[in-house]
């Protein structure tokens, strides 16, 4: 068991509570598994109720935990892990009990006693031959086509994707690329292991993300509750204090005004009493009807009236200004505003960014570099990734994007199927942000280029993340070298920019290498939608450069002529180009003369020609193709109905190869020109063609 697989299994069989191997692993209704002893302790600590520590809302009464089922899968894995050298297999039916019997009849499986009795107690199964599991025959796979011979399936044919024996390898699969079955199984195991590790990484990432989200929800709730309590308490304190002040003011005003009125009233009451006394005197005088008394009383009455008028003049009638509280009306508005307060999602917008996106005429490339963009802006960019199905290149370098912004982009990448180039170098992204992107790129196989140098990610941390991303062969090495500044060719980039809308581009004799082809593929072939002819001959392009071009050709829908003659492309490069030809539907002319393509390369191209329906012109002259390669190409011509011109001059083809082509030309009526000059074909080979020409007209 490899270290990676060991770590993978350890993750599954370790209890997340005690961090030890499971002891009686019990499964909750939510499928989370814990040791039974850990479950009991959680019930004790939580007042008799079990709440799933993964915080998914699952609750179980403590008196019901005994009914929780054993996780048989985990227990079986635990037994295998702790007893790796055990010679006793598990029952093929239940997968948990040790097998005791082998059915040597139709079943061909191992069974425990319980499962054997269940299956073999009725019908025809009763007569099956039962052996001890120790007597199980050794399984030696043999070739189905050579049962009468001692031919085990030793090899794996990479071209046909099937097992084969030595006999098949020498004859039926002659010249096919093959490896030992043991080697293939080993690589298959590694691939599966990487896939499982990727799934585990994805599950762990998303589980951690959910846990973090739950913590954020709780913290946000506590924070908002505190804000509500603080704000409302503050308002309540202000209202209570102001109520006290206002009531005191109203009461004091009432008291002061009342005193003034009461004092005034008392003064009036004194004059009223004096008036009554004078009226009494006047009535008495008048009642006597004595003129002298009236005359004597004249002056006292006049003095009283005069004095009283003077007093009343001084004692002016009281006036007052009505008091009110106009500010109280504002409380109604405040009440309305308070009632408007509710919990809402944060709203953010960047109109400048939206306008920049809208005004971009080339919808395949969006350049937002050096725009002072932050995490919130990435929500807007992510939305563009969701709706723009033409975008292939997104430039976001030299901004202020951190982990949260990377998360928004990662969420969009999970469904985006067009973006091939994402440039995020020179930002503030850390390990968390890289984990967000890596999780999305585990399933996103469209993105070819990811630049992230100049962020806050250490090489070691990037390496750990890359280890979990082996299922993405394009991005995994880029993450592993995340801080390396990528290769650039400013002159080539400028040439591409100057010809970005040209239909024909000539890059011959520019001393271009494989890394330059990466630039050509990503910045030209995946961007220029009008390019029909590309000349790349007489450069230093090898197999890696051909691979970059091949990836671009798989999606390019405009190029019809590609000239790659006089370079250094070998069999592997031919294989990459052949893979592209299997899906490309527009390329009609491919020129590859004066390279290093041999029989294997011809084989790959031949397989592509069997299904390609676009290519009409193929030049392979001045390579290293012999009769074996000629056979593969000739075989392809039995199926291909589109190729009209095939150049194979100056190779290593002999009369035998010529004979193969002569035979196929008897049935192929599409090929009009076949060039085989400067090979090793003698008169006999030439005579074969002379005879064919009489038939093929």
Q: What percent of the chain has pLDDT over 90?
A: 42
pLDDT, tens digit (0-9, with 9 covering 90-100), for 609-619: 999 999 999 99
Q: How high is the pLDDT of residue 574?
A: 97
More confident residue, 549 or 105: 549
Backbone phi, psi, residue 681, to 5°: -95, 125
List strands edge to edge, sheet with 130-132: 110-111, 101-103, 130-132
pLDDT, tens digit (0-9, with 9 covering 90-100), for 354-410: 999 999 888 888 999 999 999 999 999 999 988 888 898 899 999 999 999 999 999
CATH top-level class of 351-480: alpha beta
Per-domain residue ranges for the chain?
3-135, 183-340, 351-480, 490-695
Report pTM. Answer: 0.56
In the three-class reduction of DSSP (H, G, I as helix; E, B as strand; rest coil), residue 142 is classed as strand
Q: Which CATH architecture best describes the domain 490-695? A: Alpha-Beta Horseshoe (3.80)
Please write down the HEC assignment for all residues of 612-650: CCCCCEEECCCCCCCHHHHHHHHHHHCCCCCCCEEECCC
Q: How high is the pLDDT of residue 148?
A: 57
User: What pLDDT band is residue 84 in, cutting at 50, 70 and 90?
Assistant: low
Check for a shared fold between 3-135 and 351-480.
no
In the beta sheet, which residues pair with residue 561? 533, 589
CATH code of the domain occupying 3-135: 3.30.40.10
Overall size of the chain counted in residues: 697
What's the CA gap between 592 and 595, in Å, rounded?
Answer: 6
Tell which residue, 312, 314, 306, 303, has the closest CA to residue 268. 312
CA 111 to chain centre: 44
pLDDT, tens digit (0-9, with 9 covering 90-100), for 126-170: 888 888 888 887 666 777 676 655 577 778 888 888 888 878 877
Token pair of 299 as six digits: 């002056």
- Taking all residues of the chain, what is their mean pLDDT, rounded to a whole number? 87
pLDDT, tens digit (0-9, with 9 covering 90-100), for 510-566: 999 999 999 999 889 988 889 999 999 999 999 999 999 999 999 899 999 999 999
More confident residue, 4 or 571: 571
What is the residue whose two structure tokens read 């298959």? 188
Largest CA distance in the chain: 185
What's the CA gap between 80 and 490, in Å, rounded?
Answer: 57
* Contact indicator for 362, 388 with CB cutoff of 8 Å: no
């Amino acid at each position: 068991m490899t270290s990676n697989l060991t770590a993978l299994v350890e993750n599954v069989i370790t209890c997340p509570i005690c961090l030890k191997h499971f002891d009686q692993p019990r499964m909750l209704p939510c499928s989370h598994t814990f040791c039974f002893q850990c479950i009991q302790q959680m019930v004790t600590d939580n007042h008799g109720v079990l709440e799933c520590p993964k915080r998914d809302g699952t609750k179980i009464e403590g008196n019901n935990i005994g009914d929780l089922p054993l996780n048989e899968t985990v227990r079986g894995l635990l037994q295998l892990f702790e007893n790796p050298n055990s010679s006793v297999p598990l029952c093929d039916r239940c997968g948990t009990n040790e097998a005791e019997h082998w059915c040597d009849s139709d079943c061909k499986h191992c069974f425990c006693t319980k499962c054997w009795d269940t299956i073999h107690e009725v019908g025809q199964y009763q007569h099956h031959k039962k052996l001890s599991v120790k007597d199980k025959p050794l399984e030696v796979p043999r070739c189905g086509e050579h049962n009468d011979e001692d031919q085990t399936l030793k090899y794996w044919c990479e071209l046909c994707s099937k097992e084969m024996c030595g006999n098949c390898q020498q004859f039926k699969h002659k010249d096919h690329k093959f490896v030992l079955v043991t080697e293939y199984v080993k690589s298959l195991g590694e691939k599966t292991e990487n896939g499982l590790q990727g799934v585990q990484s994805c599950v762990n990432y998303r589980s951690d993300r959910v846990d973090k989200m739950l913590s954020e929800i709780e913290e946000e709730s506590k924070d908002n509750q505190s804000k509500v309590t603080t704000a409302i308490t503050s308002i309540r304190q202000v209202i209570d204090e102001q109520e006290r002040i206002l009531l005191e003011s109203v009461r004091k005003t009432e008291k002061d005004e009342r005193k003034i009125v009461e004092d005034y009233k008392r003064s009036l009451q004194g004059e009223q009493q004096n008036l009554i006394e004078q009226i009494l005197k006047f009535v008495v005088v008048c009642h006597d009807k004595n003129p002298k008394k009236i005359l004597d009383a004249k002056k006292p009455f006049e003095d009283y009236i005069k004095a009283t008028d003077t007093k009343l003049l001084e004692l002016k009638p009281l006036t007052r200004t009505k008091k009110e509280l106009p500010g109280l009306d504002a409380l109604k508005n405040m009440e309305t505003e308070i009632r408007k307060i509710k919990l809402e999602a944060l709203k953010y917008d960047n109109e400048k960014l939206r306008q920049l996106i809208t005004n971009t005429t080339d919808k395949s490339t969006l350049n937002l570099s050096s725009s002072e963009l932050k995490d919130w802006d990435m929500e807007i960019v992510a939305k563009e990734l969701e709706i723009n199905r033409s975008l292939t290149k997104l430039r976001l370098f030299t901004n202020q994007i951190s982990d949260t912004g990377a998360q928004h982009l990662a969420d969009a990448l999970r469904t985006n199927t067009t973006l091939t180039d994402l440039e995020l170098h020179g930002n503030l992204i850390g390990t968390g942000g890289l984990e967000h992107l890596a999780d999305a790129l585990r399933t996103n196989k469209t993105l070819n280029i990811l630049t992230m140098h100049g962020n806050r990610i250490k090489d070691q941390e990037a390496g750990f993340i890359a280890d979990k991303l082996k299922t993405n062969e394009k991005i995994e090495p880029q993450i592993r070298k995340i801080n390396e500044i990528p290769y650039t060719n400013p002159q080539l980039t400028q040439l591409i920019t100057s010809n970005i809308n040209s239909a024909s581009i000539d890059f011959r004799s520019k001393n271009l290498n494989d890394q330059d082809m990466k630039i050509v593929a990503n910045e030209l072939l995946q961007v220029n939608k009008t390019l029909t002819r590309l000349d790349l001959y007489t450069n230093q392009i090898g197999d890696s450069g051909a691979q970059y071009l091949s990836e671009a050709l798989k999606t390019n829908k405009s190029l019809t002529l590609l000239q790659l003659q006089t370079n250094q492309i070998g069999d592997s490069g031919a294989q990459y180009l052949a893979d592209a030809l299997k899906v490309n539907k527009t390329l009609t002319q491919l020129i590859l003369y004066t390279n290093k393509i041999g029989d294997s390369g011809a084989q790959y191209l031949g397989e592509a020609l069997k299904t390609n329906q676009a290519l009409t012109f193929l030049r392979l002259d001045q390579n290293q193709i012999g009769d074996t390669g000629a056979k593969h190409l000739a075989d392809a011509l039995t199926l291909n109905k589109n190729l009209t011109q095939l150049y194979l001059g100056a190779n290593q083809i002999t009369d035998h190869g010529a004979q193969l082509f002569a035979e196929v030309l008897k049935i192929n009526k599409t090929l009009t020109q076949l060039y085989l000059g400067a090979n090793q074909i003698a008169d006999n080979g030439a005579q074969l063609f002379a005879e064919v020409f009489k038939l093929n007209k």
